[in-house]
Amino acid sequence: MGIVLASIDTAPPPVVLPVAAKQAKRPPANPQKFAVENRASAIDGMGAFAAEAIPAYKKIGEIRGESITVREAHKRVRGQARIMMIEVSDKRAVDASASTDALRYTNHSCTPNTVLRIRQGRVEIYAMRAIAVGEELTADYGETHHAGTLRCRCGAANCRGAL
């Protein structure tokens, strides 16, 4: 007969977790990281301007709005001169018409200082370079529903001339 070592049950006793207190639904954290203000733009209508210095590559904020289908988006933009619609995938779009996010007034420039990044249906805007206080924020819209029929007034040396 060998020596029988005291058998120790190493399995931890079952832990009864208390029923999690119902988490109060918190509002999502504010995605706007830098102060942006809206005022008249030399490019077009209203613009979005940096109200504080923004370092290069930082997330400036987001353009939020109503999440709709691309089909619905196309219906809504028809016949409208000024649109605030961003396609976030081949199926979904964000209608920022009723949004209060200052970044929704970001104008197009052929030499932009910000870049739009679509992530999980969210429209994020990042600084492509350091942006000084008072500079207008611009993004390259890429393809628009104007299909090259809208004259571009961005004033950049390499302006493509149309949107």
Binding site for Zn ion (CB under 5 A): 110, 152, 154, 159
- Cβ-based nearer residue to Zn ion, 60 or 139: 139
Supply the minimum distance, in Å, between the C-beta of residue 157 and Zn ion. 10
Closest distance to Zn ion from the beta carbon of 98 (Å): 28
| Nearest distance from C-beta of residue 160 to Zn ion, angstroms | 5
CB contact at 8 A, 34 and 134:
no
* Nearer to Zn ion (CB atom), residue 90 or residue 143: 143
- For residue 146, the minimal CB distance to Zn ion (Å) is 12
Nearer to Zn ion, 10 or 158 (CB): 158
Are residues 162 and 148 in contact, defined by beta-carbon separation less than 8 angstroms?
yes
Per-residue three-class SS string for the chain: CCCCCCCCCCCCCCCCCCCCCCCCCCCCCCCCCCCEEEEECCCCCEEEEECCCECCCCEEEEECCEEEEHHHHHHHHCCCCCCCEEECCCCEEEECCCCCCHHHHCEECCCCCEEEEEECCEEEEEECCCECCCCEEEECCCCCCCCCCCECCCCCCCCCCEC
Q: How far is the CB of 83 from Zn ion (least distance, A)?
A: 18
The smaller minimum CB distance to Zn ion, of residues 120 and 158, is found at 158
> What's the rounded Cα separation, in Å, for the pair 23 and 42?
48
In the complex with Zn ion, which residue's Cβ is closer, 102 or 163? 163
